[in-house]
Amino acid sequence: MRPKLFVAVLLLATASHAAHWPQFRGPDATASAVGTGKPPVHFGPKTNLLWSTELPPGISSPVLWDGRIFLTGVDNGKLVTLAIDRITGKMLWLQPAPAEKLEAAHRIGSPAAPTACTDGERVITYFGSYGLLAYDLAGKELWRHPLPTPVVEFGSSSSPILLGDLVIQLCDSDMNSFLVAVDKRTGKQVWKTARPDHRRGFATPYVWRHNGVEELIVNGSLKLSSYDPKTGKLLWSSRGMARVANASPTAGDGLLFIASWNIGSDAGDRLALSPHADFLEQHDKNRDGKLTKDEFPTGPFKDRFSQFDLDKDGLVTKAEYEGMADQFVQAENAIFAVKPGGRGEISGTHIAWKHNRSLPYVASPLYHQGRVYTVRSGGMATCYDAKTGEIIYRDERLGALGDYYSSLTAADGTVYAISQKGTVTVFGGSNALEVIARNEMGEIVMSTPAIVDGRIYLRTEKRLMCFGK
pLDDT per residue over 14-35, tens digit each? 455 689 999 999 999 999 999 9
pLDDT per residue over 114-142, tens digit each? 999 999 999 999 999 999 999 999 999 99
Q: How far apart are CA 77 and CA 80, in angstroms?
A: 9
User: What pairing do the DSSP bridges indicate for beta strands 234-239 and 344-345?
Assistant: parallel
Q: Where in the chain is the domain with CATH 2.130.10.10?
A: 20-262+331-467
Class of 276-330 in CATH: mainly alpha
What residues are paired with 258 via a beta bridge?
A: 336
Query: What's the confidence (pLDDT) of residue 5?
Result: 39
- Full-model pTM: 0.94
Query: What's the confidence (pLDDT) of residue 16?
Result: 53
Query: What's the confidence (pLDDT) of residue 6?
Result: 43
Confidence of residue 9 (pLDDT cuts 50, 70, 90): very low
User: What pairing do the DSSP bridges indicate for beta strands 250-252 and 255-260?
Assistant: antiparallel
Mean pLDDT, the chain, whole residue set:
94
Average pLDDT of the segment spanning 340-361 = 96
Query: What's the confidence (pLDDT) of residue 8?
Result: 42
Average pLDDT of the segment spanning 399-403 = 97
Amino acid 335 reads I
Query: What's the confidence (pLDDT) of residue 270?
Result: 84
Average pLDDT of the segment spanning 217-238 = 97
Helix (H, G, I), strand (E, B) or coil at 134: strand
pLDDT per residue over 253-300, tens digit each? 999 999 999 988 887 788 889 999 999 999 999 999 999 999 999 999
User: How far are the Cα atoms of 213, 219, 230, 250 from residue 207, in angstroms, in the given order?
Assistant: 10, 12, 12, 9
Q: How far apart are CA 362 and CA 378, in angstroms?
A: 13
The CATH architecture one would assign to domain 20-262+331-467 is 7 Propeller (2.130)
Q: How far apart are CA 459 and CA 93, in angstroms?
A: 18
Q: Where in the chain is the domain with CATH 1.10.238?
A: 276-330
End-to-end CA distance of the chain: 26
